[in-house]
Chains A and B, each alone.
Chain A
Amino acid sequence: MADYSTLMLTSGVILSLIGIVAFAIYYIIADRKAKLAEMARERGYQSTAQFYRDFVANKKRRISWNIMVDNDARSLGLRYLLTSILFFFIAGTFGLGMRLSLTYNVPQTFFTFLTPDAYNILLTEHATLMIYMWAVGAAVGLGYYLLPSHLNLTRDGRGGYSSIAYWIWLFGAIIFLLSRSSFRWYLYPPLSLQLSQNGGGLFAWMGILGMIFIFIGLLIVAIVIVQIILFDRSKDIKLGKMSLFSWSILDTALMMIVSIPPILVGLTMLMYDYYAPIFFTASAHNVLLFLILFWWWGHPIVYIAVIPYFGIIYEIIPRFTGTSIYSYRSGVLGLGLLTILSMTVFGHHLLNSGLGVAWDILFETTSFIVVIPSAITVFNWIATFWQANKIRLTTPMLFVLNGIIDFIIGGITGVMQVYQPVNQLVHGTYWVTAHFHFIFMGITVGITMAAVYLLFPLITGGRMYNVLLARVHFYLTAIGSMLMSTAWAVGGFLGMPRAVAGYFSWFQAYQDASIIGGVIIGIGQLVFLANFAMSWLKEPTTSDESILEKPFAVPGVDA
Chain B
Amino acid sequence: MMSKGKIETVFMAMVIVVLAVFAVANYAAIMQTKGSIAQDASPVTNASGEVIHVIGHQWAWTFIYPNGTQAENNLVVTVNTRITLIVNSSDVIHDLYIPQMDIQSYAVPGQNNTVSFTPTSTGQFFFECVEYCGEFHYEMRGYLTVIS
Contacts and interface: CB of A to CB of B under 8 A. Distances in A.
Interface of A: 107, 116-117, 120, 123, 182, 184, 186, 188-191, 194, 197-199, 281-285, 287-288, 291, 326-327, 330, 350-357, 360-361, 364-365, 368-369, 371-372, 375-376, 379, 383, 415, 418-421, 423-425, 427-429, 494-495, 497-504, 558
Nearest to B101: A424
A555 B126 CA distance: 57
A40 to B, nearest CB: 53
Contacts of A186: 132
A191 B57 CA distance: 12
A502 B138 CA distance: 6
Contacts of B110: 281-285, 287
B63 interface: no
A518 to B, nearest CB: 19
B145 interface: no
B147 interface: no
Interface string B24-67: 01110110011011111010000000000000001000000000
Given A287-B108, A360-B37, A420-B30, A498 B130 contact: yes
A116 B138 contact: yes
B12 A376 contact: yes
Given A371-B15, A425-B104, A497-B141, 5 more contacts: A116-B136, A190-B91, A283-B110, A497-B97, A501-B137
Given A117-B135, A421-B29, A428-B95, A497 B128 contact: yes
Interface residues of B, number: 56
A48 to B, nearest CB: 51
Nearest to B3: A558
Contacts of A355: 40
Contacts of A427: 95, 97, 104, 130
Nearest to A425: B102
A287 B106 CA distance: 12
A435 to B, nearest CB: 15
Closest 9 CB pairs of A and B: A428-B130, A495-B99, A282-B110, A282-B109, A500-B138, A354-B40, A353-B106, A191-B92, A502-B138
A321 B4 CA distance: 19
B4 A326 contact: yes
B29 A425 contact: no
Contacts of A497: 97, 128-130, 138, 141
Contact of A495 (B4, B15, B126): B126
A88 B131 CA distance: 26
A123 B135 CA distance: 12
B103 interface: yes
Interface in B88-142: 89, 91-93, 95, 97, 99-100, 102-106, 108-111, 113, 126, 128-139, 141
B92 A327 contact: no
B97 A495 contact: yes
B8 A327 contact: yes
17 contacts: A190-B93, A191-B93, A191-B133, A288-B108, A350-B106, A352-B106, A364-B26, A368-B19, A371-B19, A375-B12, A419-B25, A424-B36, A428-B130, A429-B130, A495-B97, A503-B138, A558-B4
B111 A287 contact: yes
A110 B42 CA distance: 46
Contact of B30 (A190, A283, A361, A501): A361
A502 B139 contact: yes
A416 to B, nearest CB: 9
A285 B89 CA distance: 12
Contacts of A284: 110
Given A372-B12, A425-B99, A354 B19 contact: no
A152 to B, nearest CB: 28
Nearest to B34: A357
Contacts of B29: 419-421
B76 interface: no
A361 B37 CA distance: 11
Nearest to A291: B93
Contacts of B95: 352, 427-428
B71 interface: no
Most buried by A among B39, B100, B131, B134: B134
A428 B97 contact: yes
Contact of A356 (B22, B40, B42, B129): B40
A421 B33 contact: yes
Contacts of B106: 350, 352-354
B37 A424 contact: yes
Contacts of B15: 371-372, 375-376
B97 A361 contact: no
Contacts of B37: 351-352, 357, 360, 420, 424
Nearest to B11: A379
Contact of A184 (B23, B128, B132): B132
A497 B134 CA distance: 15
B8 A499 contact: no
B97 A354 contact: no
A501 B134 CA distance: 11
B57 to A, nearest CB: 12
